[in-house]
Structure formats: C-alpha cells, structure tokens
Amino acid sequence: MTPTAPAATTAPLLAAGLPAVACASWCIDGTGHTDAPFPEDQVCRGATVEVELTRRPLVEVADDDWRRETVHLYLQRRPGHTPVVEMYRGELGESVTFTLDEAEALGLALGQAVQQARG
C-alpha cells in the first residue's frame, strides 16, 4: 500500500459520534456511549460479578492460564428499555436474561435454599 497523508489516522473530520445518552448510575462506561455505531448500541452495562464454580474442572482461558469455570452476571440497559440482569456460564456460555423482578426472585430463592441447607 502507498502511504497517504501523514495525518490520515488522526481525528477523522466529521466523524461525529452519536449524541450522548444519560447513562445509568451503575454504568461502567458513564460517558453516554457516543462512540457506539448505532443508537441501539448505546447500551449501559454494570460491573461484572463473577462466581467461581469450585466443583467444575479447570479450563484453559488463555495460553497456559487455567481457571475454574465461572458464572458471570451484570446489569444491562438497552436504549428505551428497563434494565435487566444478564447471566452466563463459562467464557462463551449461553446467556440468560432476567427482568429485575425475576432476578430478585432468583436471588431470594437462592438465599432461602442456602439457609435451609445450612439449617
């Protein structure tokens, strides 16, 4: 390839981003997602909580980097929608989406199960 103008890779002209959205208080981005390619991509996402599955075998997550499989969950809000909780297992596991009420019910059920088991 032939080199072009030396400043071609810096601050392209008129590459205006999208107008900022009002991020949720828990959004780890917090800047309004102006760099999203489309408005539907202006998604707020909360911090990921990881729970290691201590009875699962070790899996190689990177070159010679072995870890226990984990369950990941985080808050997510798509533009014009109410927040949901996304949860998935493993690195590429199938995700499950919970409404806030569903996530709360699951959390209560898990807590009650643990209380029952521990007597």
Judged by the rule CB under 5 A, the positions of this chain that interact with Zn ion are: 23, 27, 29, 44
Task: Spell out the alpha helix ranges (H) of 12-119.
Answer: 100-118
CB-CB contact of 85 with 44 (8 Å): no
Closest CB 114 distance from Zn ion, rounded Å = 33
CB-CB contact of 34 with 20 (8 Å): yes
Q: Looking at residue 4, what DSSP letter applies?
A: -
Residue closer to Zn ion by CB (options 18, 23) is: 23
Closest CB 108 distance from Zn ion, rounded Å = 28
Residue closer to Zn ion by CB (options 42, 70) is: 42
Query: Of 6, 33, 29, 40, nearest to 19 (Cα)?
Result: 33
Residue closer to Zn ion by CB (options 81, 118) is: 81
Closest CB 29 distance from Zn ion, rounded Å = 5
